[in-house]
Amino acid sequence: MHTFSCVSYCIISLILEIKWQGVWFVTGTFDYDLVVIGGGSGGLACSKEGKCLSTKWGIGGTCVNVGCIPKKLMHQAALLGTALKDAQKYGWQVPGPISHDWRTMAEAVQNHIRSLNWGHRVQLQDKKVTYLNMKGRLVDEHTVQGLSKTGKETTLTAKNIVIATGGRPKYPTHVPGAIEHSITSDDIFWLKESPGKTLVVGASYVALECAGFLTGLGLDTTVMVRSVPLRGFDQQMAGLVTDYMEAYGTKFCWKSVPKRVAKLSCGKLQVTWTDRQTGQDQQDSFDSVLWAIGRAPETKTLNLEKVGIKLNKESGKILVGADESTSVPNIYAFGDIGEGRPELTPTAIKAGKLLARRLTGQSSELMNYDNVATTVFTPLEYGCVGLSEEEAESRHGKDSIEVYHAFYKPLEFTVAERDGSHCYIKVVCERGGDQRILGLHFTGPNAGEVTQGFAMGFRCGATMNHLKETVGIHPTCAEELTKVNISKRSGLDPTVTGC
């Protein structure tokens, strides 16, 4: 099958042939056993597992191109800036004022992304996955049509179809000037020049992570929040995250909504917004405006309604069953496109692998979406697994849960004279019986590394006893989780003292 080269084309459909134990499955009636539309984290995993191929963007989807990977690298760039300042307290002779060159960082990050795109491409080819770089749409429940960059149409029939086209950032619909003059997370990682003084609209983790690293790189950054930060996350923890950001130089416009974006003759962007508390309009000028107000699924061009695939009216996402099935029997959907699914790379990858195994008859295991650990990579990182305190209260009742907590100070902060007052641990558990842990929350350095191991504890049904019986590694921040013993209910001071 010919492959079409296409550097700038966005959405591509891919065809895959399932090869199982060296035997090509080609049914009598269909061209292929399985077609996967979409080539991000989910689509790639599904295709490689079931020998199917999927691509999006440069291969790798949101995660590789405009998400996790560049985000974490730029977050690291920002952390290194802070580390350079700390280094002086530790005796390093750092000459002169430290400045950051966006171009150097951007080129290095973008080169790494391209090497990942290539790596994926090689892997797909190596696993004999047929890759078609085209825009895909459904014709009927067994037919997929691909449109190449040159306008050539290809039609394929398949026994099963999997949709893993993910999501894209939303632009506001009622703010004049927004679409023409501003950017989203799709753009920030690919800028060749520094975004300068930036307004980030939104309070999702995308907004806070972007604002966080922009501040850390030395840029004048403002976050505009309509209501609450990190909706859906534990709100006490979200507050600690934003408090730290404010203390470290990120400006916040709370309870504000943008009204208008206008381009000034000098090239800057003038933003007018309404302060919802006072009702007054305010104005300021920025070099860049970044919208991080949510993500919408990629379904418009797929022709889903015609084929009868039911969507959630509000979100536009595909309604899916526990086995990733849609309302049409032989069509499946997973990853960010699925309604109610976490918008995370590892869950998409795992769900894709399990789906492929089920479709090729190798197993019947379903994806377990419970207790998935995540981390928000803001300047003060926040890792969590399980329920927020609010969710635990809502499900079990305040009297049936116990919340243990502690404010701790990372050892490394002491010599560096860093403010550790937002470093905090919270363990939410059942009040009675074995005190099964329902939720675990941690703000501090390397939160992702700290939280990962505790996620396994969740899988094993960890209880407070398990936690107390675990001997900590010293000196670390993670060990504070094994030492937590002050409950909120007791009202005692949760600040950790001593060694």
Name the token pair of 405: 């907590």
- Smallest distance from other proteins to CB 114, Å: 5
202 is an annotated ligand-binding site residue: yes
Closest contact distance (angstroms) between CB of 109 and other proteins is: 12
336 is in an annotated binding site: yes
**Cα–Cα distance for residue pair 276/260, rounded to 1 Å:** 15
Residue 204 annotated as binding site: yes
Q: Which of 2/474 has CB closer to other proteins?
A: 2
Q: DSSP state, 331?
A: E
User: Measured from the CB atom, is 5 or 364 closer to other proteins?
Assistant: 5
Please identify, using beta-carbon distances, which residue of 52 and 207 lies nearer to other proteins: 52
- The footprint of other proteins (CB under 8 A) covers 3, 5-7, 111, 114-115, 117-118, 121-122, 125-126
Q: Is 206 annotated as a binding residue?
A: yes
Is the Cβ of residue 111 or residue 490 nearer to other proteins in the bound state? 111
Tell me how far, at minimum, the Cβ of 53 lies from other proteins, in Å. Answer: 13
**Torsion angle (degrees, nearest 10) of CA 131, 134, 137, 140:** -50
122 is in an annotated binding site: no
Least CB distance to other proteins at residue 147 (A): 18
Report yes or no: 472 and 455 within 8 Å, Cβ to Cβ.
no
Task: Give the pairing of strands 135-140 and 32-37.
Answer: unpaired
Q: Given the complex with other proteins, which of 65 and 443 has the nearer CB atom?
A: 65
Query: What is the number of other CB atoms lying within 10 angstroms of the CB of residue 295?
Result: 20
3-state secondary structure of 389: helix
Q: Which residues contact 232 (CB under 8 A, 6 or more apart)?
A: none
Environment class of residue 203 by beta-carbon count within 10 Å: exposed (0-12), middle (13-18) or buried (19+)?
A: buried
CA distance 106 to 89: 29
| 136 carries a ligand binding annotation | yes
In 3-state terms, what secondary structure has residue 465?
helix
Nearest CA to 214 out of 251, 261, 266 is that of 251
- Could you tell me the smallest distance in angstroms from the CB atom of residue 324 to other proteins? 30
Q: Which residues are annotated as catalytic?
A: 474
Binding residues: 72, 136, 202-209, 294, 336
Return binding residues for FAD: 72, 136, 336
Known binding residues for NAD(+)? 202-209, 294
